Amino acid sequence: MTVVLASSTRARRMRTSLALLATTLVTALSVQACGNDEPEGRDTPSNELFGYAVDSPLETTNAGSSLGASIDAQALSSRLYPGPFTQGPKGQWIPNRDLAEGHLLPGVQQRAEFKINEKAKFSDGAALTCDSFLLAFRAGTMPSLFHSYMPLMNEVESVECQPNSRVVDVVFKQGFGPRWRQIFPAGTLLPAHAIAREAGLSMEELNAALINQQWGMLEGVAEAWNKGYELEDFNPSLQQSLGPYKIRSVGEQGEVVLERNEYYAGAPAEEPELVVWPRGSDLQQLRKDGVLRVADTTSLNELSWLDRDNVERPVEVAAMEGVMTDSLLLSDTGVFATAENRKAFAACIDQAAVAKASEKASGVAVTPVVTRMLRAGDPSASQLKDITEPHLRTNIDEAKALQGVTINIGYTGPDKRKADMVKAIAKSCEPAGIEIVDASKQGGTFDQLRWVGADGTGAYHPNATLDALLLAVDPVSDFSGVAKSSADIEGLRKDEADSWETISTVPLATQPRVQMYDRDVLHVVPNTNAAGVGWNMDRWSSKQP
């Protein structure tokens, strides 16, 4: 893999060069003035630090924004902005009591109460309050203003929060509530105090504007919440971390340097500093330089250069099917404005062929998927077969309802595996007279999807050009439903049947995951959800020689 320098990277490089020039001039003057003074210590360069490579572009730390949800920002933000619960490798929800304690209150209309830890602070020393929870809720339920994508927020009726309080009450809509642990995932509890300051509001003004949905007063808040967490123009005053790590800097190649957050209420991170490298980084060179210690990718073939028999640097490589599902997220306007057209498109897709294309490109065995409400491999899926298995077969006659139509599929690229998956879709839909276009150069985020957002989960973008997005989704957090758990078969059957009537997505195959780590790095635990193997990066520790 080679490093691809986008225009934003070139701009960052220019800013860095100017900053270095200014620093050089100041240093020269200081040396001239001070004579024999010793130079102050400088930060270790990123290409000399403990390195962790992810399969996502590192463009934002806000996992609830449409950009963050599109590129899986949780891969970076899981230990910067953790939620009240962390999902472990077996799907278990681990309480994060360093941040808050939560429990479900009894009642016909379910409520969840979160009591924030008195010691929970952001990296500037400001206390975590209920306002950050309220902000996350309102951002998720006002997607047109905030440009957000947090589907589970639509299960919430209200969030009760007094300004600066450490108690949060979440009231769910009738029939919802079982997923209360998932509604504030990693990367969504951002510093409300910093965003209010950026927008020129007091905390009391922010709280009132959020509760009353005052669009005019929230425009500046939404701008800070959305654009302020993008890393192209790193804003330290907004990027106040809540987790064991905080961002020290963003490098020329898009790498993000992390260091310990001294205000974190939990145990300090084992590694004092590490650097996260984005998709497109030259992993072979980083490994050659001795700094790539952990990697999480979707292709074993892209690690073909790795010498697994090197006794001097023994390495573990785990290739597996992930818990997430590669899927097509469909627009709800244009060609896909009707459920009938969405069904016709789904009818020409051969999941087995798409899975085979993904498997060949990645070198990892994957499985065709036709369920939305359960993770692949969930035992309860056997109870849904009569609903799902008919969709494993193509129906060209039904698909011909879209004969002569062109469908643009986008994804975050370049990505050979996804390109091959789109080719497989094009091949299976060709007999129906449907033209499939690989539109990855047009974009690969929700903002480029032709979406009216009628279901309340997304925002309308009038200049969007994509009919579908190819990305990995997690049934645990990306689909709302009435099922209380994976054991609620009756509820699952209803949710799954309903999903095949509305067809907002087309499931394709399990996501391949490849996780590599040095054997002398302790406490690395493979995990294939959105946070990936970095879900516990603060526990990683290098053995001392």
- pLDDT, tens digit, 9 for 90 and up, residues 142-178: 999 999 999 999 999 999 999 999 999 999 999 899 8
Instruction: Determine which helix (DSSP H) or strand (DSSP E) holds 385, and give its type and residue range.
Output: helix 385-388
Question: What is the distance between the alpha carbons of residues 168 and 325, in angstroms, rounded to a whole number?
Answer: 32
Higher per-residue confidence, 31 vs 201: 201
List CB contacts of 428: < 8 A, sequence separation 6 or more.
348, 349, 350, 353, 354, 394
Tokens of 285: 């060179």
> What average pLDDT is seen over the chain?
90
Is the pLDDT confidence value at 208 over 50?
A: yes
Tokens of 230: 């993008």
Question: What is the distance between the alpha carbons of residues 461 and 438, in angstroms, rounded to a whole number?
Answer: 20
Query: How far is residue 15 from each of residues 8, 20, 23, 87, 254, measured CA to CA in Å?
Result: 11, 9, 12, 38, 13
- pLDDT, tens digit, 9 for 90 and up, residues 478-510: 887 766 677 789 989 999 999 999 999 999 999
Tokens of 262: 């001294």
Question: What is the distance between the alpha carbons of residues 25 and 28, in angstroms, rounded to a whole number?
Answer: 5
Mean pLDDT to the nearest integer, 268-297: 96
- Is 503 strand, coil or helix? coil
Contact between 181 and 111 under an 8 Å Cβ cutoff? The reply is no
What number of other Cβ atoms are within 10 A of residue 23's Cβ? Answer: 10
- Is 118 strand, coil or helix? coil
- pLDDT, tens digit, 9 for 90 and up, residues 16-74: 443 433 444 334 334 344 434 434 556 778 878 999 999 999 999 999 999 999 999 99
Residue-level pLDDT at 312: 86
Mean pLDDT to the nearest integer, 217-246: 98
- Is 386 strand, coil or helix? helix
Kind of pairing between the strands at 468-473 and 406-410:
parallel
The residue among 355, 302, 306 whose CA lies nearest residue 327 is 355
Question: Is the dihedral angle over the CA atoms 75, 79, 82, 84 positive or is it negative?
Answer: positive
Higher per-residue confidence, 121 vs 457: 121
Question: What is the distance between the alpha carbons of residues 407 and 396, in angstroms, rounded to a whole number?
Answer: 16
Contact between 320 and 363 under an 8 Å Cβ cutoff? The reply is no
Residue 460: pLDDT band with limits 50, 70, 90: low
Question: What is the distance between the alpha carbons of residues 149 and 516, in angstroms, rounded to a whole number?
Answer: 30
List CB contacts of 56: < 8 A, sequence separation 6 or more.
71, 72, 73, 75, 76, 278, 279, 412
Mean pLDDT to the nearest integer, 299-317: 92
Higher per-residue confidence, 379 vs 460: 379
Go through 44-72 and write b for each residue having 16 or more CB atoms within 10 A of its CB, e for each that does not. eebbebbbbbbbbbbbbbbbbbbbbbbbb
Tokens of 18: 């100017």
Contact between 304 and 518 under an 8 Å Cβ cutoff? The reply is no
Is the pLDDT confidence value at 88 over 80?
A: yes
Mean pLDDT to the nearest integer, 346-360: 98
Q: Is the peptide bond before 512 cis (omega within 30 degrees of 0)?
A: no
CATH number of the domain located at residue range(s) 322-512 in this protein = 3.10.105.10
Q: Is 456 exposed, middle or buried (0-12, 13-18, 19+ CB in 10 A)?
A: middle
Mean pLDDT to the nearest integer, 233-243: 97
Residue-level pLDDT at 43: 77
3-state SS, one letter per residue, for 243-286: CCEEEEEECCCCCEEEEECCCCCCCCCCCCEEEEECCCCCHHHH
- pLDDT, tens digit, 9 for 90 and up, residues 374-406: 998 889 999 999 999 999 999 999 999 999 999
Tokens of 466: 């994509």
Residue-level pLDDT at 97: 97
- Does the domain made of 79-227 have the CATH classification 3.90.76.10? yes
- Is 428 strand, coil or helix? helix
The residue among 446, 463, 427 whose CA lies nearest residue 505 is 446
- pLDDT, tens digit, 9 for 90 and up, residues 430-448: 999 999 999 999 999 998 9
Residue-level pLDDT at 457: 56
3-state SS, one letter per residue, for 166-213: CEEEEEECCCCCCCHHHCCCCCCCCCHHHHHHHHCCCHHHHHHHHHHC
Question: What is the distance between the alpha carbons of residues 57 and 81, in angstroms, rounded to a whole number?
Answer: 18
The residue among 329, 333, 336 whose CA lies nearest residue 463 is 333
Residue-level pLDDT at 479: 80
- Return the DSSP state at 319: E
Mean pLDDT to the nearest integer, 266-276: 97
Q: Is 496 exposed, middle or buried (0-12, 13-18, 19+ CB in 10 A)?
A: buried
Mean pLDDT to the nearest integer, 186-202: 98
Angle at 94 between CA 88 and CA 97, to 5 degrees: 140
Question: What is the distance between the alpha carbons of residues 196 and 205, in angstroms, rounded to a whole number?
Answer: 8
The residue among 470, 38, 6, 77 whose CA lies nearest residue 281 is 6
CA 444 to mean position of chain CA atoms: 13
User: Phi-psi region for residue 450, left (φ > 0), alpha (ψ -120 to 50) or beta?
Assistant: beta
Mean pLDDT to the nearest integer, 315-341: 96
- pLDDT, tens digit, 9 for 90 and up, residues 522-538: 999 999 999 999 999 99
Q: How many residues does the chain have?
A: 545
Report the CATH architecture of 51-57+243-320+513-542: 3-Layer(aba) Sandwich (3.40)
CA 322 to mean position of chain CA atoms: 15
Residue-level pLDDT at 19: 40
CA 43 to mean position of chain CA atoms: 29
- pLDDT, tens digit, 9 for 90 and up, residues 110-150: 999 999 999 999 999 999 999 999 999 999 999 999 999 99
Is the pLDDT confidence value at 273 over 60?
A: yes
